[in-house]
Amino acid sequence: MKGYMLIGGKRVFKKEEIEIRFPYDNSLVGTIPRGDERDAQLAVEVAEVGFKKLKEMTAYERFRALEKAARIISKRSQEFAQLLTLEVGKTIKESMGEVGRAVNTLTLSAEEAKRVLGEEVPFEGAPGVKGKVGFYRRVPIGVIGCITPFNFPLNLTCHKVGPALAAGNSVVIKPSENTSLTVIKLAEVLIEAGFPPEAVNVLTGYGEEVGDALVRNSKVRMITFTGSVETGKVIMSRGGLKKYAMELGSNAGVYVDRDQSSRLKELAERIGRGGFTLAGQVCISVQRVFVHSEVYDGFLKELSSFAEGLKVGDPRSEDTDVGPVIDKGAADRIMDWIEEALSKGAELVCGGKRLSDTLIEPTVIRDVPRDSKLFRKEVFGPVIVVNRVSSLEEAIEMINDSPYGLQAGIFTNDLKGAMKFAQEVECGGITVNEIPTFRVDQMPYGGVKESGIGREGPKFAVEEMTEIKTICFDLN
Ligand code: NAD
């Protein structure tokens, strides 16, 4: 597919193009234009027109358009899923799952268009104030820049564009250069569904070029970003005075308590899926597992037998469980981190081999030292670290020993222990008797510490993407 930028509904091509390659075998999937500062400027100017045009749509009309977009994507789910598999390298099962979630995210956003509520402000509650009444409303911000990562190009873009349009904002989307083709199709669907073409724009190209130009444009009133901590920090230092929502990385931890001995096989499977889905390239992949010493050996045995049973290979095959990572550079880095942990005294339990430029066996490593990258940083690959702990308190301390704080989980029968965990672990979300990879699209979702600022989930994103305007009447 020859990709293009979409500015005011017009397809924009450039002489210089970037190739999009299938992560599994490096074959060419398509190309996208290498956008630059001038393209960003034009897209933002057009989006300002789009913002004005959106004001002519009622909330009900925005609800209808988002609902229609969800229906169109649902009808074309096979086509979207196949493209996702080619761009991201995720298995076809995973791609169908993402399309289903995107349909749900747009449907939830549609509903929120009708629920942008304000409330009365009791001015007369202040001393000496009489005869003043008023209220506040939530109003759209203007042009929102939506910058998205490679791993869930469809659903994560819907998490930005859906609430933005629901609230009446226009958007300029800058998708990952690895996975832009899916996002171009999404934008076309939104226009087909009834949004003004000027309100939904897509820029393609490199982050440091066209992405940076979008971030620095002062007419962009908010940047909603999902991606790595490193990029998030650069964006916030470059963008100046505007609103930011930041959905960043993590190295999610989970604790398996001593009382779980009767269900270690089940837990190993769930935790294994949480770590190896999409070859570990999920922001809430299970990366660090802390297991009580009484059940440690049994858990490790079950986890390694689960990992060894997974089929690694071509993501287009229905029976593949684990596909490739995004590119050779990512695989090189992951292999280096495994080597580093082993050289510092960690022990390989299973996997650890590289099967091709981008395929890595599902890998389990035990007793990983705290100062190794596998413990401290986000691996974003099919690697699970399993360390032994002797108490709930030690597990909490280990999980909190991280710059990140997105989600964490605990498996236990101890109610008080679960509550202590929920209160003391520093994360945006806690899962009890569930893996931290659990997410449904309506829930508030986001991180603390370096994992981010703000919350997604359409209801919460609409709050982030609106300003409060206070209106006061003097009736004296
Ligand atoms: P990335 O940070 O490399 O890139 C994300 C996006 O930012 C891309 O579109 C890229 O082109 C753009 N970009 C890069 N430099 C830029 C700049 N200077 N200015 C403007 N834009 C710029 O991330 P990635 O490798 O695509 O995705 C993986 C990361 O995303 C992981 O860290 C993962 O945890 C995170 N992630 C977080 C969530 C979440 O909800 N918290 C969800 C998915 C992924």
pLDDT digits (tens, 9 = 90+) for 46-67: 999 999 999 999 999 999 999 9
C-alpha neighbours within 13 Å on the C-beta side of residue 421: 31
The atom number, within ligand 1, closest to the CA of 178 reads 26
Q: State the pLDDT confidence band at 131, using cuts at 50, 70 and 90.
A: very high
- Give the C-alpha distances (Å, rounded to integers) separating 232 from 222, 326, 365, 474: 13, 20, 29, 44
* Ligand 1 center to 174 CA (angstroms): 11
List CB contacts of 436: < 8 A, sequence separation 6 or more. Answer: 252, 253, 254, 274, 284, 286, 406, 407, 408, 409, 427, 429, 430
% of residues, the chain, pLDDT over 70: 100
- Residue 386 bridge partners (DSSP): 289, 366
- Residue of 154, 225, 226 to test ligand 1 pocket, by largest number of atoms within 8 Å of CB: 226
Q: Ligand 1 test: best mutation among 246, 251, 283, most atoms within 8 Å of CB?
A: 283
Mean pLDDT estimate for the chain:
98
3-state secondary structure of 270: helix
Residue 279 CA to ligand 1 center (angstroms) comes to 17
Nearest atom, ligand 1, residue 235 CA: 19
- Among residues 247, 361, 378, 464, the one annotated as catalytic is 247
pLDDT band for 213, please (50, 70, 90 cuts).
very high
pLDDT at 238: 98
**Beta-bridge mates of residue 291:** 256, 388
Q: How far is the CA of 276 from the centre of ligand 1 (A)?
A: 20
User: Could you report the per-residue pLDDT of 371-412, keeping only the tens digit for each?
Assistant: 999 999 999 999 999 999 999 999 999 999 999 999 999 999
* pLDDT attached to residue 313: 98
Helix, coil or strand: residue 435: coil
pLDDT tens by residue, 325-384: 999 999 999 999 999 999 999 999 999 999 999 999 999 999 999 999 999 999 999 999
Tell me how far CA of residue 247 lies from CA of 325, 437, 456, in angstroms: 21, 15, 8
The pLDDT score that the predictor gives to residue 271 is: 98
Which residues surround ligand 1 with Cβ inside 6 Å? 147-152, 156, 174-177, 207-208, 211-212, 215, 226-228, 231, 234-235, 247-249, 283, 378, 380, 406, 452
283 noted as active-site residue: yes
Which residue has its alpha carbon closest to ligand 1 atom 13?
Answer: 207
Least Cα distance to 467 among 145, 167, 138 occurs for 138
- Rounded to an integer, the average pLDDT of 36-42 is 98
Centroid of ligand 1 to alpha carbon of 249 (angstroms)? 9
Tell me the mean pLDDT in the region 472-476. Answer: 97
Q: How many CB atoms lie within 10 A of CB 129?
A: 12
Active site residue 208: no
- How many other CB atoms sit within 10 Å of the CB of residue 272? 26
What's 221's DSSP letter? E
Catalytic residue, chosen from 158, 283, 350, 427, is 283
* Model confidence band, residue 431 (pLDDT cutoffs 50, 70, 90): very high
Joined together, the tokens standing for residue 448 give 């603390």
What is the pLDDT, as a whole number, of residue 436?
98
Question: Residue 35 half-sphere exposure, CB side, CA atoms within 13 Å?
Answer: 35
The confidence score (pLDDT) of residue 358 equals 98
As beta bridge partners, residue 290 has 255, 387
Contact predicate 460/174, CB 8 Å? no
Does this complex have an ipTM over 0.90?
A: yes
